[in-house]
Structures are given as C-alpha cells and as structure tokens.
Amino acid sequence: MQVEYVGALNIVIGVIARFWPVWLALAIVLGLSFAYKRRLGLYGQLFDSSVGIAGVVICLFWLFTAMFASTIATFNPLDQIVVMKDALPGGVEPASHKVFLFGADKLARDVFSRMVYGSQIVLIIAPAATAFALMVGITLGLPAGYYGGRVDTILSFLANLVLAFPVILLFYLLVTPGIMDTPIPYAIAGLFFIFPIIFFCVLFWTRFKNRPDRLYLLLGLTILLGGWVYVGLVFDRDPLGIVHIDPNQLNIFVAVVFASSPGVFRIVRGLTMDIKTRDYVAAAQTRGESPWYIMLWEILPNARGPLIVDACLRIGYTTILLGTLGYFGLGLAPESPDWGTAIKDASRLLRQYIHPALPPTIALMSFVLGLNLLADSLREQSLKD
C-alpha cells in the first residue's frame, strides 16, 4: 500500500496545532506570573531576567506536554501500523488519514507520539528521584555538619565510599535486569523511602512539641500518608491500588537516589558547617533550642538558595542519566517510549533513517537546557539576596 506524504509547512502547522493545550496553559500561567510576579517571591524574581524567563518557559512547556500527553499525541505510543514502517515525516496513515508528523520508527510506531509520552516518564522519575535524594542528603548532611566529630567522620566516609565507586559500574549493578528478581532493590528502597517520613516527623516535632493538638494531627497525617506511599512503593501492597511503581522503574529510582544522595550530603554538610557559625544560630542556642530545631528551622531555611539551584541541576543530570541508561538498554522495558530508549532504537539505523533519532534527542537536550537556564537564574537571584 502506497504511503502519501504532506509538505513541510503542513508538518510544522500540524505540530503547532497538536500542542494547543500547552500553548493555552503557557499563556495562562505566564500571564498570571507576569501580573503578580512581585507577590510570588523567588519564582516571581525569575521573570526579571531573560535567562529566567527562557528557563521557566522551556520547563513549563515540557511539564504541560507531560500533563496533556494523551491529548497532544496522535497515536498510542505502542501502536504498530505495519504499512508505516520507517515512514518519513509527514506520512499519512491510509486507514485513518492521520499524519505521522515526525515519521515512524523501525517498528512502525509514531515518533511524535512516543516523544510526547516519553516526557511523562522523565517528568515523573527525574524530579521524584531528585526529591528523595534531597531528603536523604539533607537528613544526613545536617547532623554531619552541625555535630562534626565522629558523626561527621562516619557519615562522610559512607558518602565518599559511594562517590568513589565508578558511576557506570554502580548503575549497571543496580539496574541490570537480573537484579530485579532479588530483594536488593526493595531493601534499598525500603531504606531510602523511610527518610522523608523521618524528616517530616522530626520537622513537626521540633516546631510544635509545645502544641500537642497540632503536633499529633501533623504526625498522624505524616505517618498515615507516608506509610501509605511507603507500602505502595516498597511492597506494592497499596489497598487502593493508586500508589504503584513497576520493578524496572523502581530499580532506576533507587539507583538514582543512591548515586545522588552523597552529592547532596556533601553540599548540605558544607553549608551547615558555614551557617552554624552565624549569630542567629548562636542566639537560638542561647534560647535553649534543641540541635534538631536549630538544624531544621535556623540552618536549613538559610541554605535553601544553593539547594534549590542544585535541585534544578540535579534534575537535569538525572534526565541525562535516564537517557544514558535507556540508550544502554538498562532499566525500563524495551518498548518504553522514554527518550533514551527511543534514541537507542533509532541509532541502529542512523545511516539510513535519521528522523526517528532527532525528536527524542532534541527533546532531552531542550529540557536539560531549560533546567540549566533556570538554575543559572536562580543562582543569580540567590547572590543578590
């Protein structure tokens, strides 16, 4: 069956039209952000520089793309339409007359739809893994920097031990398919996922220990919600069936948190060692505040600037890492539409067909670029403050 093609202008118009929910959401969010930027704190200050605006626009673009993926995508990312195998951009599917805007790959799947759905995987795993790494690094870095001595020696040794291990080999050991059948990923996940629960319990205890009515409510909610998520992620036993993660995604999640936590730990430790010498920390010690109160409510808020910048950069690093793991065929399932897997599949026939490799490559590059621009703008604002 002969495949017909549309012109380049129609492809461009078609792509722009498919992203209409993204353009609408961007217009609303950016319009409100500009109108109320003076009331939006650090986020509002990003709109005072062109670099910040560019970073926000790019990141929001991919965020809204992930949110409206089912509306934007033309086809299901796993659908195979044999007649469209290796079709060039602009190919028209004979049965439905829908256009393969970016062509089809070697398995006759729509490249445009796979790129769009791939953003969901990146926007879920990268920020979530970074958040957990921050929780682990902050929870261990604060006491290491504040107490020093033996506590600092032991925790720093463990962090340096992980950092000294070759990263590629570390990820290969943690993400290789054979390890999914062992309890190792679930044991590591069980250890790491307990840190957010501990962090928020200590946070609320130090703040509201003299107000038991509010304290018990917040502790109860933390243990209830945290335990619900914990049971769903680690044991896959969520009674409501809402919290669930595939074993291969859990492996990647654990590997990223395991490798990123020592870097966060060292940043938090260094910031804590510097900030604990400030006058307001000495004033809190004079008032008789507990060490954990000082760490969480005096030191941590004043370290938020560098940590926010590091979080943006770390999400970008994680995105590149996910692409690298996907390229080597580790972690996610082979049929996954994530950008790394798509680049790997397309690279095998790169000399014959270049079009399946370009969209996921440009998508990954643009998202990381947006995060770097956002981090640069945040760094400038933190220096001004």
Nearest in space to 171 (alpha carbons), one of 103, 70, 253, 105: 253
pTM of the model: 0.87
Q: Is residue 328 part of a domain?
A: no
pLDDT band at 223 (very low <50, low <70, confident <90, very high): very high
Q: Are residues 151 and 110 in the same domain?
A: no
For the chain, the 3-state helix, strand and coil shares in percent, each to the nearest 5, are 75, 0, 25
Q: Is residue 51 part of a domain?
A: yes
Asked if 343 and 362 touch (Cβ cutoff 8 Å), the reply is: no
Q: Are residues 26 and 175 in the same domain?
A: no
Q: Is residue 221 part of a domain?
A: yes
CA 97 and chain centroid, separation: 36
DSSP 299: I
Q: Are residues 149 and 285 in the same domain?
A: yes
Predicted confidence at residue 107, as pLDDT, reads 86
In tens, the pLDDT along 13-61 reads 999 999 999 999 999 999 999 998 888 888 888 888 899 999 999 999 9
Tokens 């069936």, residue? 241
In tens, the pLDDT along 161-197 reads 888 877 777 777 776 666 656 677 778 888 888 999 9
pLDDT band at 350 (very low <50, low <70, confident <90, very high): low
Tokens 């936590």, residue? 261
Tokens 């946070």, residue? 203
Q: Are residues 98 and 128 in the same domain?
A: no
Helix (H, G, I), strand (E, B) or coil at 236: coil
Q: Are residues 59 and 138 in the same domain?
A: no
Check pLDDT > 80 for residue 254: yes
Q: Are residues 165 and 303 in the same domain?
A: yes
Q: Is residue 177 part of a domain?
A: yes
Task: Indicate the number of domains in the chain.
Answer: 2
Q: Are residues 90 and 222 in the same domain?
A: no
Q: d(Cα 70, Cα 75) in Å, to the nearest integer?
A: 9
For the residues 98-107, what does the mean pLDDT come to? 88
Predicted confidence at residue 384, as pLDDT, reads 66
Predicted confidence at residue 274, as pLDDT, reads 92
Q: d(Cα 95, Cα 350) in Å, to the nearest integer?
A: 28
Predicted confidence at residue 357, as pLDDT, reads 85
CA 179 → CA 124, 173, 248, distances in Å?
23, 8, 10
Q: Are residues 107 and 163 in the same domain?
A: no
Q: d(Cα 142, Cα 266) in Å, to the nearest integer?
A: 10
DSSP string covering 302-330: GGHHHHHHHHHHHHHHHHHHHHHHHHTT-
DSSP E strands, the chain: 4-5, 91-92, 99-100
The domain boundary residue, chosen from 267, 295, 320? 320
Range of the domain at 286: 119-320
In tens, the pLDDT along 126-154 reads 898 899 999 999 999 999 999 989 999 99
Helix (H, G, I), strand (E, B) or coil at 165: coil
Share of the chain above pLDDT 70, in %: 95
Q: Is residue 275 part of a domain?
A: yes
Q: Are residues 108 and 137 in the same domain?
A: no
Q: Are residues 53 and 163 in the same domain?
A: no
Q: Is residue 333 part of a domain?
A: no
Question: Phi and psi of 121, rounded to 5°?
Answer: -65, -45
Sign (positive or negative) of CA dihedral 199, 202, 206, 211: positive
Tokens 């947006």, residue? 370
Amino acid, single-letter form, for residue 214: R
Q: Is residue 304 part of a domain?
A: yes
Work out the mean pLDDT of the chain and round it to a whole number.
Answer: 86
Q: Are residues 200 and 237 in the same domain?
A: yes
Q: Is residue 334 part of a domain?
A: no
Q: d(Cα 275, Cα 86) in Å, to the nearest integer?
A: 58
In tens, the pLDDT along 54-90 reads 999 999 999 999 999 999 999 988 888 888 888 888 8
Task: Please provide the distance, in angstroms rounded to a whole number, between the alpha carbons at the two ends of the chain.
Answer: 65
Q: Are residues 136 and 73 in the same domain?
A: no
